[in-house]
Amino acid sequence: MKEALNNGEAERRPPFIIRNALVAHAAAYIVDKSIGDGCTPDGHKLLRKLIVRICKGDKISISMDASDVYQGAEHSIEVYGQENIPPAGPTIFITNHTRGGPVNSIGQFFQMAKEAYEARFNVRDEKVREPFIIMQRGLAKGKIVKYFSGIFYEIAGQSLNCEVVEIPRYNSDKEIINGQKLKSNAIERITNGGAALWAPQGTHRDADDLFFPEKKGNRFLQKVHNEDMDVQLVPVRSIPDLQGNVKVFFGKAVELHHIIENGGINYFTQKYLASLGQVKTL
């Protein structure tokens, strides 16, 4: 059994050309130039080291390793409401997808995963305790960029223990019209006590644009509900400021079956996510 598992992992290793030292270091340089703006010198070095490790197929913890890249960076992340994160149990953290924070806006998602990991202290299995990010396969910026970024994102997803889906395609109503091919394994990871971090909008939107694609969102929630109606949904809202910093707010968890019974993803968004971070006036 152990030998078969090891062979399975070997089959999932990046191609030899990617693991080549020259290629790995070149990829590290490109990624650092693309998303490392504003990091400290130590942050740049760590980012490049992590990219080399990703190209080699090493397993990297988002909460333990990736979040260190942006410590002391030019842009900051402030987090509120960590007390609302359930300490255990099947959970989906649902967030808006906006720009803000370090590492070209990616840092906010790493920080969400880190905060969730630290709050889920009642989970003993480290792989189950750390939330996995549902991430898209590459960048939709022309055929060449889409192809090569797709290869890297697939490799990065394996290294970071994420679930990788196809790049979304939209209609004029901002609805996602392709299935994105989320594997059933993702649902099993949630219903078996794990946690997922999910940004259903699929691309950067204005911070006040809290419309979530209904067909995609409700389809996924229904699939999870069919396996476990008591999954906890945690609203997470990112609000950037004019300087590029971002504030992240965790709201109170709500049961999945309540959301399904009352209209789905945009009921959840308007009732539980929209109010996060808003200043109440008398």
Q: Which of 1-10, 109-118, 155-164 has the lowest mean pLDDT?
A: 1-10
Q: Assign 38 a pLDDT band (cuts: 50, 70, 90).
A: very high
- Strand locations in 47-172 (E): 77-80, 91-95, 132-136, 163-165
166 has pLDDT over 50: yes
With a CB cutoff of 8 Å and minimum separation 6, the contacts of 26 are: none
Q: How far is residue 86's CA from residue 131's CA, in Å, rounded to a whole number?
A: 12
pTM of the prediction?
0.92
Structural element, H or E, at residue 23: helix 21-35
Token output for 108: 């906010």
What does pLDDT average to over the chain?
91
Distance (Å, whole) CA 105 – CA 100? 5
Q: Where are the domains of the chain?
A: 75-273
Please list, in sequence order, all residues whose beta carbon lies within 8 angstroms of the beta carbon of residue 32, skipping any fewer than 6 positions away. 44, 47, 48, 51
Are 55 and 87 in contact by the 8 Å Cβ rule? The answer is no
The identity of residue 218, as a single letter, is N
Predicted confidence band at 279 (pLDDT cuts at 50, 70, 90)? Answer: low
Residues 97, 209 contacting (CB under 8 angstroms): no
pLDDT at 83 over 70: yes
pLDDT digit string, tens, across residues 192-240: 999 999 999 999 999 999 999 999 999 999 999 999 999 999 999 999 9
CA distances for 48 relative to 24, 126, 154, 265, angstroms: 9, 25, 18, 37
